[in-house]
Amino acid sequence: MIHFLQVDKTYPDDIKALTKISCKIERGEFVFITGPSGAGKTTLLKLIIRAERQDRGEILVNKRNISRLKNSQVPLLRREIGFVFQDFKLLHNKSVYDNIALVLRAVGHNKKEIPKRVRHVLKTVGLEEWILQQTPLKLSGGEQQRVAIARALVNTPAIVLADEPTGNLDPELTVEIMNLLEKVNALGTTVVVATHNTGLVAQYQKRIIPLYRGALAA
């Protein structure tokens, strides 16, 4: 599903983010990318959605070499991937409904279908319908992250990438969100979670891709 082959990434000022990364994530897998801050976890996720480009090596997503994609093809790649952020990145001036529906509008979904899909995904992430008219700031951190996951799932992506999804949550809400991601994975979606929380990783017993200073740790 996702295949890294000898991937290097260096940022300006010669900051080496990733060095010779080779790894494989299979379809339907739940994988943790672990490592301390600055290990290269976020860069690795950004490379998968081509928000950054590698300097060397190849990255295959769904058997497509994404470094060879034309710029106009990148949106199509991103439609297959849902992204969850540590800080949720919800639009505070829009309702929960609009935050989720935004994705469907952006990819040109049938207008009549949008409300149905939004309600369906809301149920999947365990939120009630009254929340749809609320703005994100009126919700708790856990609810906001559920909305963010709903937004990542609404377009039924094959892959969900989550960058420190529980970083801003207390332990109780962390468990809730991780259980939700497990549920998403159980529905057949490949889930990749980047986290520095070793306790969390130990608790969930999933495959780990450990990073340290931009390289795969032994």
Partner 1 sequence: MKENGPTHALSIGTIAIAFFLFAAFLLFPLNFASLLEAWEKKVQIILYLKDGIDEKRIVRLTGDLEKEIGILKVRYISQRAAMESFEQDLAGYGGALKGLKADIFPASFEITVEEGFRTPEQIRSLASRLSTIPEADEVQYGGVWLERFSLLLYTLRWGVWVLGGILVAIIISVTANTVRLTLYNKKGEIEILKLVGATDTFVKLPFYLEGGLQGLLGAGVAILLLFALFRMFSVTIAPYVSLFLGEMQLRFLPPSIIAWILGVGVASGFLGGLFSLRRAARI
Binding residues for partner 1 (CB under 8 A): 49, 51, 71-72, 75-79, 82-83, 89, 91, 93, 102-103, 106-108, 151, 155
Least CB distance to partner 1 at residue 152 (A): 8
Q: Which is closer to partner 1, CB of 41 or CB of 78?
A: 78
Least CB distance to partner 1 at residue 83 (A): 5
Least CB distance to partner 1 at residue 75 (A): 4
Kindly tell me the number of DSSP H helices and DSSP E strands found in the chain: 7, 10
Q: Which is closer to partner 1, CB of 24 or CB of 89?
A: 89
Q: Which is closer to partner 1, CB of 122 or CB of 200?
A: 122
Check if the beta carbon of residue 136 is closer than 8 Å to that of residue 91: yes
Least CB distance to partner 1 at residue 71 (A): 8
Tokens of 90: 């919800």
Q: Which is closer to partner 1, CB of 75 or CB of 115?
A: 75
DSSP 3-state of 162:
strand
Please tell me the distance from the alpha carbon of residue 67 to that of residue 55, in angstroms, as a whole number: 10
Please tell me the distance from the alpha carbon of residue 182 to that of residue 69, in angstroms, as a whole number: 31
Please tell me the distance from the alpha carbon of residue 12 to that of residue 188, in angstroms, as a whole number: 38
